[in-house]
């Protein structure tokens, strides 16, 4: 998964626990949760503890006003923001964007249709039977395995049926 995120241009970073410089919001939440739980009767079961945590989370997100958000609760602040949504399909893209799932065939290649013509992309016989994902942006193609590891990157030559493995 981490490798796949890297290939999509997303960097994934871990941080140390109890490090408010990088995890301030969640560290503050944990601190407040611990103070809340310390004031409760000790839970006698995991179910009772879960009920205490659920009660706290509801209060923290839906009842308690936040000082830095014009006294809105976190839920109200979240609900008031415009959400990301898929692009309007009417927008035109300069390149075709698609994702294709396939399996490397016995000869070590996968196929891809580009402008109604079928092209074979050489992957190598050593990858025979490997399930792959083709990320296609116009003629730019990335082939990754199911773990997100980049197996091949190439610019499709529309004049060639077979895209050899050599320099691509």
Any idea what DSSP says for residue 40? S
39 contacts: CB under 8 Å, gap ≥ 6? none
How far lies 146's CA from each of 69, 138, 149, in Å? 41, 22, 7
Percent above pLDDT 70 for the chain: 83
pLDDT tens per residue, range 38-71: 999 999 999 999 999 999 999 998 998 877 768 8
How far lies 139's CA from each of 90, 97, 114, 146, in Å? 22, 10, 8, 22
pLDDT tens per residue, range 68-93: 768 888 888 888 888 877 666 555 55
Taking the domains of the chain in order of start, what are their residue ranges?
2-80, 97-163
Any idea what DSSP says for residue 59? I
The predicted model scores a pTM of: 0.45
pLDDT tens per residue, range 96-141: 788 999 999 999 999 999 888 999 999 999 999 999 999 999 899 9
DSSP conformation letters of 85-109: -PPPTTS--SS-EEEEEEE--TTSE
């Amino acid at each position: 998964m981490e490798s796949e995120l890297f290939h999509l241009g997303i960097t994934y970073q871990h941080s140390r626990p109890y490090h408010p410089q990088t995890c301030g919001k969640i560290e503050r939440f944990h601190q407040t949760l611990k103070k809340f739980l310390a004031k409760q009767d000790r839970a006698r079961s995991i179910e009772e503890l879960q009920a205490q945590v659920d009660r706290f989370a509801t209060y923290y997100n839906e009842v308690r006003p936040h000082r830095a958000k014009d006294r809105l609760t976190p839920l109200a602040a979240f609900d008031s923001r415009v959400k990301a949504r898929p692009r309007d399909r009417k927008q035109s893209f300069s390149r075709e964007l698609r994702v294709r799932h396939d399996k490397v065939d016995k000869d070590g290649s996968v196929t891809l249709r580009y402008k109604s013509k079928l092209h074979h992309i050489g992957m190598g016989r050593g990858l025979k039977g490997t399930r792959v994902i083709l990320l296609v942006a116009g003629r730019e193609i990335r082939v990754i395995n199911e773990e997100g590891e980049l197996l091949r990157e190439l610019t499709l030559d529309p004049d060639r049926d077979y895209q050899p493995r050599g320099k691509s």
